[in-house]
Structure 1
Amino acid sequence: MRRGLRSVLTCGLVLAGCNEHRFGFFPGTESDGDTFDPSTESETAGPTLSPTTLSPTTVSPTTVSPTTVQPTITSDTETTITSDPTITATVTTEGPNECGSIVLPATVPIHQVDSLQAKGDDFSLSCGGVGGTDLEVVWTAPVTGRFQFDTMGSSFDSLIAVLDGVCFGNELACDDDGGGSLTSKVEVDLVVGQTVTLVIDSFGQSSADVVYNITQVPVVDECPDTVFDPFVPLTIDGQTAGATNVRGGSCNGFESPEIEAQWTAPFDGVFVFEVIDADFDPVLYLLDGSCQGSEMACNDDSNGLLPATAVFLLGGQPVIVVVDGVGGQAGKFVLSIHEG
């Protein structure tokens, strides 16, 4: 039986519900209440947060030793692969068509050669592959970042897809011929510890050798993701899942993706920045003036798992508000800025 696959957008949990933005701060979600306009010093209606175009941020590649993994796969055998002194992957096979039988070590880059010989037709992908021979490989991201999966170097007409989890998750990306010369490639943002299944399919039946690669892709750092209007109080919904991991705070956040917003104090005073709801373990820190500024404050777990910090700011002083996570975690949250 073929396993039909398609992309599914899951939204919700208990926060802002479904939003077209994959990650970032969601405009138009400020809470009702008094606001402060520094030009008039009078109370006005709540501001409308200006929509922004979210751009990916730079991932600093983690230096790891290149590896070529070539497991020997025979029926009802077990092969232990050691590509790194600290990483050992065990490949167990119970027949040529069992999805999940090939498990690669959690490292990058990977250059792998395998074969479609005796493989089955187990998947139909959103970009094609109906009736084609396919190969499935399980891999876990060693760091949070953006990764390229491709079949460059293969000599047959290939398709490639990345599924979330082991074999039966949602399709995260799919491509046919994007790598040139009938090869394919996709790029996917993953968090550390996230397991995916790489499906390599063929255009029609094939017994060809398969060359496939996994590499980490640097992306451009365009921080901040958005700019908040200089009002208080503000309550903004956001999501870090799908963002990249560029920085961390002194109190935590080095393994998780983060998003940033610039906010300017409307007057002299003490201001409280806090995450008041989240479906993951968040971290909150403030940078002075710009994304390259020094850290002004950092907090993790002020109220249970929710962070909060208070700082004194001069009127007109800008800060970068960073919402990050613990141990590779990411998700939805609600951020509040108000007077202390």
Structure 2
Amino acid sequence: MLAGCGPGLSEGREGFGTAAGDEVGESGSESETETETETESETETETETETETETETETETETETETETETETETETGPSCTVDVELGDAASLEWFDTIEATPSEYTLECGGFGSEKTFGWTAPAAGEYRIETFGATLDVVLGLLGDCEGPELACNEDIGPWTLDARLIRNFAAGESAVFVVDSLFPGTEGEFGLRVSTSDCPEQVLSGPLPIQVNGSTVGASDEYGSQSICGGTDTGDHAYAFTAPEAGTYTFDTIGSSYETSLWAFEGLCGTDIIDCNHGFDGPTSFLSLELGAGETVTVAVDGWFGAEGDYTLNVRKLEEVPASCPEQVLPSVVPLDVDGTTVGAANDFSDECGGEIAGDRSYRYTAPEAGTYSFSTVGSGFDTTLSLGSSCGDAAPLCNDDIDWFTTDSRLVVDLGAGESIILVVDGHTPTPGPFELHVETISCANESAPSTTSWTLEGSTSAGFDKVGSPCGGDAAPDWVVEWTAPESGTFRISTVGSSYDTALHARVGGCNGSVMACNDDGTGSGAGGVGFASLIEVQAVAGQSVFIAVDGKGSDAGDFVLSLERACDPLAPDCPRGETCGRDGDTFVCQPGPPLSEGEACGGLFCGASCGLCEPGAVCVSGLDHPACGVSCCDRSCDLDAPDCGPGEVCTPALGGVEAAPWHGDVGFCL
């Protein structure tokens, strides 16, 4: 262990310092006789003094030169500072220690705000070394410094998401010294840890040459270089690491198709880095898969590992996804409807993938041109494997629509889209897993809407989604549930409230304009407050429509839920500009306002319960029902003068305050306030 900083004096040089002048003086005029003249004495004394002074100067210069040489030598051979523990120069070692809650001296780039322990170490030979903590009882950060004063060369906070330990892998030159800092992530924490230094075999191989690349190996008896306690496994399991540099920018895939055991795959930044980019286990049974977006010349390290102790023979495949597959489309379909096509993905190339799957499965691509305008259904019902289906405008564009399973109980796929006469699309039949098989592709036209609602401002319909299928999907649930679409034409412009209060299952509800694939106007899974009738599984939306506009309302289900539904529509209103029919008043109903029949109440009168939901009373025009939670002077609730938060017109000393406090109101009701 180093005891201090800086060089000491060389042996035999003690005393060469500020007393040198006194020593010179003592060897001067005492040797001269008293009869010598004063001039001769002064001359000899000055001569001797100058001679000794020159000698002393040369000696001091030599001393300083030797001292600087010693300092340079110490700087080259190790850190010229004090560390807590000097580990020496062993290529393989383990050290057990404790971090106590003492003041922090280091804060590393990747964290470490608590106390720490520092270790000095020198590489005995050139090569790659792994420095890591193990068995830590506190969350540690591991830093690598060139010296106690820096610079910081590397830092790691966690090996994986579920571990407290850290790891660094780095190349060292023979005789190169470094300081390891084991820091606690959080201040005031204490605990034990082990520190291990060992040589590393990373990378096992550098992957190069034309793509695709395939390598075979075995993890039986391999050392555990990269495994950690995480969702991807790898703890106490041998692994092999491969370095790969992207020859050009693009999407590269890595998989273990053909391996004999349950693998896991890791991707790390740089050459044998420790920062995890991604990991995967169980993509399809024992197969693991990673897809990485890499820049030209970017290097990653991919480790083939095992799922919690699994080991065996593996195959690692690397390929680049082409932006425009040369074989697309493989076939042009007849421009007729209905149309049935039989095919197989056995022996097909893997040219496509999308967010629904297909990353490691063969696929078939088709061009289809709609013979007439309409709503088209494309499905793989009756196929012999787990399909995915995607649809795009051209081979080089990302598919805007895709589907894996029609519902949770089938592996068939279906897409519904509106097409114009003569409009062409690219269809891709792909696989969710690597297993290929025969498929059936069906093309047919369907009606987007299952039924039409009355073109009135208030109506109620009842039905069931159990016999339907997923035609339109939903941005707030219903991706795997059958739906029922109702087309309604607005008889006048205004805001309308649509709900599924009274339905027998967990509904999802949304509205679109422009057909089944048009833009979404509003979407809701579970309505909030008493505005949904107090039924948490019912759905509630508000839409703004103009007279003559067709709105497609889709009753869907949460997840794959289906059942009997009640769908109702009524006219909402704006209390700042009420326009309800004669005999009705714009009254508050939970987080919205609707036209309701009944006599209105005057300003100051009690108008409902504390939360002022479905039981809110009706206030006269120019007033709004306010909960006592927002207006303490009201008591439980009362009608108070309304105001526009965007243009308040309250009296002196009054403040325009939000009237819908505590609820999530529709955007067009966000300006409703009351004068407080």
- TM-score, normalization: structure 1? 0.39
Structure with greater strand percent? 1
Structure of higher RCO (CA pairs closer than 8 Å, 6+ residues apart): 1
Structure with greater helix percent? 2
Rg larger in 1 or in 2?
2
